A = this chain, B = another copy of it.
Amino acid sequence: MAERVVVIGGGFGGLNAVRALDGADAEVTVVDRTNHHLFQPLLYQVATGILPPGLIAPALRSVINNQRNARALLAEVRELDLAAKVVRAAGPDGRPVELSYDTLVVAAGASHSYFGKDQFAEFAPGMKTIEDARYLRDGILSKFEMAEIATDPQERAEWLTFVVIGAGPTGVELVGQIAELAHVVLPRDYRTVDTHEARIILLEGAPAVLPPFAPKLQAYTQRKLEKEGVEVRLNTLAVDMDHESITVKGPDGLETIRARTRIWAAGVSASPLARMLAGQVGVEVDRAGRIPVNPDCSLPGHPEVFAVGDMVALNGLPGVAQPAMQEGKYVGKLIRSRITGEKAPDPFKYFDKGSMATIGYRSAVADAFGVKFTGFIGYVMWAFIHVMYLIGWGNRLGTIYTWARALWFGHNRAHRVITFETAQDEISEGRMVSGRPSPILPATEVSQTETTTSG
């Protein structure tokens, strides 16, 4: 009988595990709470109106439709029973969906962490899902609309103040694009308000932007952001916020900044499934809620259960795309070798392909194989690599076309549809009406600089 493999999560880790099992004598079921594989490194481009969601979020069942031994299910995992070898999930209508497995791969990713200050979630949304990105986009665009109808200059300035908390790749990429929107794209669209006046502030608790990058690239990034009109505030933490302001603590003490938009890009916390697994195998999760795994990504005492990606703590690997992809692929190969009885692959070894981030207008920093790239050359590298990793030629060509149109020729943003109701929701107190916050996890204290996201 074919090996029943259940994979939880269709992100980088899960999808690579599924693909590595193509053709194997297995029945692979990938369960995800969305219908799509999300290419998170470009999520900030959805949040700023460059790309439509579809190009970076292809339907999972469409991605694997040529793999006859794999199927996808839209359901939310509620319980993992390692003793009974059963995954208990629920369909969108709450109906129980039970999946028995011979082998289990858990690749459930991570969500934002507010470092124990969960009350911030209401005031500073984060960006981990496609819905998060759409919500940020609607919010950013609505603020410019409000500025255009505001008559009081002080109020107008508040609508045009954007604060991003956390200067990891996600935060840097977001402020870069918000600055491009305000200073390049939107000025000719507005008559009453001059969007050049927008204030875009980047807060970072560490003494440099892009904390894990080389000092040279950090300095370049900060200089470039400042040239594009971003206020970079280092050694500065968010200590309080409400719907109209944020209070920060920096080298000069406390300051309250009036700002109608605050975005959280400061930290992540592993999926609650990590803690659930840890409880069953008798290990402790780390401060970011991640479960420690064996060198082959299996769980202690459970060779048939694997965990990969952002939810695991393995050799200090960062929570970005590459480790998840490589771990997923490795685990898929390992399961395949067990099915065929062939020799198991060599122990998992991470191959560091480097890291990169865009900085606004046609510029990026990249650090690969010890070589450092900046500016337009970095940007071309960044664009090439990100397009290459997108799934399917249709999405690749569509993305190139959309970039050409948005960034090179028109300086336009085609994907910025909002309505009166959207704007109402976005500017109302909290996001109770149509937006939905990502699930907030039990707080685990993590330092602000440690866990930047994006790959």
Interface residues, chain A, with chain B CB atoms under 8 Å away: 33-36, 49, 52-55, 57-59, 61-62, 65-66, 71, 73-76, 91-93, 95, 97, 129-131, 141-142, 145-146, 148-149, 188-192, 394-395, 397-398, 401-402, 405, 409-410, 412-421, 423-424, 426-428, 433-436
State how many angstroms separate the Cβ of A327 from the closest Cβ of chain B. 24
Across the interface, which residues of B come within 8 angstroms of A52, CB to CB? 52-54, 415
Q: CA of A142 to CA of B427 in the docked complex: distance in angstroms?
A: 29
Contact of A398 among B36, B405, B417, B427 (CB under 8 A): B405
From A35, A66, A148, A417, residue with most partner B Cβ within 10 Å: A417
Q: How far is the CB of A203 from chain B (nearest CB, A)?
A: 26
Closest CB in chain B relative to A52 CB, distance in Å: 3
Which B residues touch A54, using CB under 8 A?
49, 52, 414-417
- Oligomeric state, in number of copies? 2
Contact A61 B190 (CB under 8 A): yes
CB distance A92 to B417 under 8 Å?
no
Closest 10 CB pairs of A and B: A52-B52, A54-B415, A92-B423, A71-B191, A33-B420, A61-B189, A74-B145, A54-B414, A34-B419, A434-B434
Per the bound structure, the CA–CA distance linking A433 and B436 in Å amounts to: 10
Which residue from chain B places its CB closest to the CB of A38 in the assembled complex?
B417
A-B contacts besides A35-B416, A71-B192, A434-B436, 17 pairs, CB < 8 Å: A33-B420, A34-B418, A34-B419, A52-B54, A59-B189, A71-B190, A71-B191, A73-B149, A74-B148, A74-B149, A74-B423, A93-B146, A93-B424, A131-B419, A394-B412, A394-B414, A398-B414
Residues of B within 8 Å of A93, CB to CB, are 146, 424, 427-428
A131 / chain B contacts, CB cutoff of 8 Å = 419, 421
Which of chain B's residues has its CB closest to A401's CB? B401
Q: A188 vs B65: C-alpha distance in the bound complex, in angstroms?
A: 6
Give Cα A66 to B191, complex, Å.
Answer: 11
Cα distance, A33 to B415, chains bound together (Å):
17
Smallest CB separation, A189 vs chain B (Å): 4
Q: Which residues of B contact A433 (CB under 8 A)?
A: 434
> How far does the alpha carbon of A65 sit from the alpha carbon of B187 in the complex, in Å?
9
User: Within 8 Å CB of A395, what residues of B?
Assistant: 414
A35 & B92 in contact (Cβ 8 Å cutoff): no
Chain B residues whose CB sits within 8 angstroms of the CB of A141 once the complex forms = 35
Contact A394 B410 (CB under 8 A): yes
A187, closest chain B residue (CB):
B65
Q: Which of B58, B92, B192, B397 contacts A145 (CB 8 A)?
A: B92
Closest to A27 in B: B191
**Are A91 and B410 in contact (CB-based, < 8 A)?**
no
With a cutoff of 8 Å between Cβ atoms, the chain B residues found around residue A145 in the complex are 35, 74, 92
Q: In chain B, what residue has the closest Cβ to A74? A: B145
Q: Would you call A73 and B35 a contact (CB within 8 A)? A: no
- Can you list 13 pairs linking A and B with CB atoms under 8 Å apart? A34-B418, A52-B53, A52-B54, A57-B417, A66-B188, A74-B149, A75-B420, A92-B145, A130-B417, A131-B419, A398-B405, A434-B435, A434-B436
Q: How far is the CA of A73 from the CA of B93 in the complex (A)?
A: 40
Q: A412-B394, A417-B130 are in contact. Are A149 and B190 (CB under 8 A)?
A: no
CA distance A362 to B352 in the complex (A): 47
Q: How far is the CB of A69 from chain B (nearest CB, A)?
A: 10
Kindly list chain B residues whose C-beta atoms are within 8 Å of the C-beta of A73: 148-149
* A417 surroundings in chain B (CB, below 8 A): 34-36, 53-54, 57, 59, 130
- Known contacts: A395-B414, A414-B398, A436-B434. The answer to whether A419 contacts B130 by CB under 8 A is yes
Instruction: Tell me which residues across on chain B come within 8 A of A418, comparing CB atoms.
Output: 34-36, 74
| Chain B residues within 8 Å of A424, by CB | 92-93
By a CB distance below 8 angstroms, the chain B residues around A66 are 188
- A29 closest partner in B (C-beta): B191
How many angstroms between the C-alpha atoms of A394 and B97 in the bound complex? 45
How far in angstroms is the closest Cβ of chain B from A180? Answer: 15
- CB A254 to nearest CB in B, in angstroms, measures 29
User: In the complex, which residues of chain B have a beta carbon less than 8 angstroms from the beta carbon of A436?
Assistant: 421, 434
Q: Which B residue's beta carbon lies closest to that of A62?
A: B189
Given the known inter-chain contacts A71-B192, A93-B427, please indicate yes or no for A394 contacting B398, CB distance below 8 A: no
